[in-house]
């Protein structure tokens, strides 16, 4: 059996999952870019739409971006008029971030891109396929979390 094959036939599951995730991510990134956005912009807009105002630290945790990297993205988004930052009057060390009207408009535009991407992923899947895919992906994540001690 070639090294690149699984004992169960075909590519090893981890490799198939990794290459599939990479291609799905690339397609999403390309769709966002065509609409004038990026994944980091989308994630920040999404987080601020669900919470209205957040500190930079809260955003970093929610978006999964390190503080310094998030600051870089926020600088660009602020320069583009998508958000504002101000000091928290209760704690001057904390910067609060809020969407502007332009940021809400950008969110609406990129939400359409995200919805179209999700519809594209659903193509050819019936409800049973989708339920099975969700179940398998959740189980794979659980298996890995259990192995690394994360839960």
> What domains are there in the chain, each with its CATH number?
16-145 (1.10.10.10)
Nearest to 25 by CA among 141, 117, 133, 144: 117
Q: Is 93's pLDDT higher than 80?
A: yes
Task: Please work out, in degrees rounded to the nearest 5, the angle formed at the alpha carbon of residue 107 by the alpha carbons of 104 and 110.
Answer: 155
What is residue 6's predicted lDDT score, i.e. its pLDDT? 58
Q: Which comes out higher in pLDDT, residue 31 or 151?
A: 31
Query: Which conformational region is residue 57 in: left (phi greater than 0), alpha (psi within -120 to 50 degrees), or beta?
Result: alpha
What is residue 10's predicted lDDT score, i.e. its pLDDT? 79
Q: Is 148's pLDDT higher than 90?
A: no
HSE-up (13 A, CA, CB side) for residue 129: 6
Where would I find the beta strands (DSSP E) of the chain?
53-55, 83-88, 91-99
Q: What is the C-alpha to C-alpha distance for residues 66 and 73, in angstroms, rounded to an integer?
A: 11
Query: Which conformational region is residue 111 in: left (phi greater than 0), alpha (psi within -120 to 50 degrees), or beta?
Result: alpha
- pLDDT bracket for residue 52 (50, 70, 90): confident
Q: What is the C-alpha to C-alpha distance for residues 52 and 62, in angstroms, rounded to an integer?
A: 13
Q: Is 3's pLDDT higher than 70?
A: no
Q: pTM for this structure?
A: 0.81
HSE-up (13 A, CA, CB side) for residue 146: 6
Q: Which residues contact 45 (CB under 8 A, 6 or more apart)?
A: 82, 99, 103, 106, 107, 110
User: What average pLDDT does range 116-142 have in this prediction?
Assistant: 94
Q: What is the C-alpha to C-alpha distance for residues 57 and 94, in angstroms, rounded to an integer?
A: 8
Share of residues in the chain with pLDDT > 70 (%): 91
- pLDDT bracket for residue 25 (50, 70, 90): very high
Mean residue pLDDT of the chain comes to: 90
């Amino acid at each position: 059996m070639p090294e690149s094959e699984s004992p169960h036939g075909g590519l090893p599951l981890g490799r198939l999952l990794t290459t599939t995730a990479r291609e799905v991510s690339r397609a999403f990134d390309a769709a966002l870019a065509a609409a004038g956005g990026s994944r980091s912009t989308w994630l920040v807009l999404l987080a601020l739409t669900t919470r209205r105002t957040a500190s930079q630290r809260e955003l970093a945790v929610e978006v999964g971006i390190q503080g310094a990297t998030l600051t870089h993205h926020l600088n660009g988004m602020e320069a583009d008029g998508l958000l504002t930052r101000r000091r928290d009057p209760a704690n001057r060390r904390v910067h609060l971030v809020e969407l502007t009207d332009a940021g809400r408009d950008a969110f609406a535009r990129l939400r359409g891109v995200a919805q179209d991407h999700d519809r594209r992923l659903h193509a050819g899947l019936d409800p049973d396929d989708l339920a099975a895919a969700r179940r398998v992906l959740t189980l794979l994540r659980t298996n890995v979390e259990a192995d690394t001690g994360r839960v």
